[in-house]
């Protein structure tokens, strides 16, 4: 039987290719063809309806606090719009950071206002649509592949549950808190606390965004002479597997003794069988690395059916 880890019910772990079921692929074709437009349209609508909600939430606040909030919202929204318009890996990290921030801002504004009306509901709804669209697998694939060079094609790997369900959300919260705490404290005339929060927040934000970006830099690259696995979580360096050395690619069987490069990712695991042993430099514990020689490897693409189709197009020994 194919080796399938349970899927987590998290948006950025959605897999539109449930184990090679073409019927399910047809069901998402229309949504997939829309690409990033649902996120872009929802993000633009958020700027329109969100003004009403935010104005109500800031009613009675000091001029300084209101100014800081408006400027911060404007900067964040503009950055999010640029990230949604430019398909690049760096833009993927920016979109995953800023667009969820729009949803949090909409919810906070709606609850902080004097009343709850249609504008509050509309703001939260369009912000949620933008988040769902940004965390969809086809958006991730398009933005990861947007950084490809020449004839190569990049396909994202599945996010491990530990990182998707715990590490990434906590890191995002730390980044968000580091961005808003300092300016708001200074606006409230809390000079010492504000200055300290600003200094610490800058460091937390920088390191946090770097950590989040590592999750966006996990992919397999189809190149003319084979494929490259690029995964900072398991491999300290990208590794090229030549077409001539790849014997087969297909669903991994349960109980296989192949080298697991999935980092514990959920979903359908694929096994890459080599015609001869290859040496891999892999991460063992923390920053430690070790060299291992194997003929079978396991990886978990975010969309296994798309991966196998791309492998066949690249004349690799892909099986269905």
Does this model's pTM top 0.75?
yes
- Tell whether the model's pLDDT for residue 254 goes beyond 50: yes
Judge contact between 159 and 265, C-beta under 8 A: yes
- Tell whether the model's pLDDT for residue 19 goes beyond 70: no
Percent of the chain's residues with pLDDT above 70: 90
Look up residue 246 and give its two tokens. 């790849």
What is the average per-residue pLDDT within 197-217?
A: 95
- Tell whether the model's pLDDT for residue 125 goes beyond 90: yes
- Tell whether the model's pLDDT for residue 9 goes beyond 50: no
- Tell whether the model's pLDDT for residue 24 goes beyond 60: no
Q: Phi and psi (nearest 5°) for 295?
A: -110, -10
For residue 8, what is the DSSP state? P
Pick left, alpha or beta for residue 14 (phi over 0 → left; psi -120 to 50 → alpha; otherwise beta): beta
Neighbouring residues of 286: CB distance < 8 A, sequence distance ≥ 6: none
- Tell whether the model's pLDDT for residue 18 goes beyond 50: no
Q: Give the helix/strand (H/E) hosting 54.
A: helix 37-57
Confidence of residue 114 (pLDDT cuts 50, 70, 90): confident
The helix/strand/coil state of 166 is: helix
Percent of the chain's residues with pLDDT above 90: 72
pLDDT of residue 12: 38
How far, in Å, CA of 104 to CA of 110, rounded?
A: 10
Judge contact between 307 and 271, C-beta under 8 A: no
Look up residue 142 and give its two tokens. 């398009």
- Tell whether the model's pLDDT for residue 28 goes beyond 60: no
Look up residue 33 and give its two tokens. 């063809």
């Amino acid at each position: 039987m194919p080796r399938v880890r349970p899927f987590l019910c998290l948006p950025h772990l959605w897999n539109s290719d449930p184990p090679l079921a073409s019927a399910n692929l047809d069901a998402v074709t229309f949504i997939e063809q829309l690409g990033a437009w649902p996120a872009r349209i929802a993000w633009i609508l958020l700027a329109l309806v969100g003004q009403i909600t935010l104005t109500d939430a800031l009613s009675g606040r000091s001029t300084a606090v209101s100014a800081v909030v408006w400027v911060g919202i404007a900067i964040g929204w503009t950055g999010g719009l640029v990230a949604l318009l430019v398909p690049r890996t760096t833009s993927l990290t920016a979109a995953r950071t800023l667009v969820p921030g729009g949803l949090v801002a909409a919810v906070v504004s709606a609850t902080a206002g004097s009343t709850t009306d249609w504008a509050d509901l509309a703001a939260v709804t369009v912000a949620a649509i933008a988040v769902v669209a940004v965390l969809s697998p086809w958006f991730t694939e398009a933005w990861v592949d947007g950084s490809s060079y020449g004839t190569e094609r990049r396909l994202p790997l599945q996010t491990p549950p530990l990182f998707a369900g715990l590490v990434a959300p906590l890191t995002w919260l730390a980044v968000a808190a580091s961005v808003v705490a300092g300016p708001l404290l200074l606006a409230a005339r809390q000079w010492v606390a504000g200055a300290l929060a600003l200094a610490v927040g800058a460091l937390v934000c920088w390191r946090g965004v770097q950590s989040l970006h590592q999750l966006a830099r996990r992919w397999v690259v189809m190149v003319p002479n084979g494929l490259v696995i690029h995964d900072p979580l398991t491999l300290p360096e990208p590794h090229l597997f030549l077409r001539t050395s790849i014997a087969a690619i297909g669903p991994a069987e349960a109980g296989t003794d192949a080298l697991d490069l999935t980092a514990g990712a959920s979903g359908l695991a694929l096994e890459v069988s080599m015609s001869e042993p290859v040496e891999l430099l892999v991460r063992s514990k923390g920053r430690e690395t070790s060299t291992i020689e194997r003929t079978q490897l396991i990886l978990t693409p975010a969309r296994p059916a798309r991966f196998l189709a791309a492998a066949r197009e690249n004349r690799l020994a892909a099986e269905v």
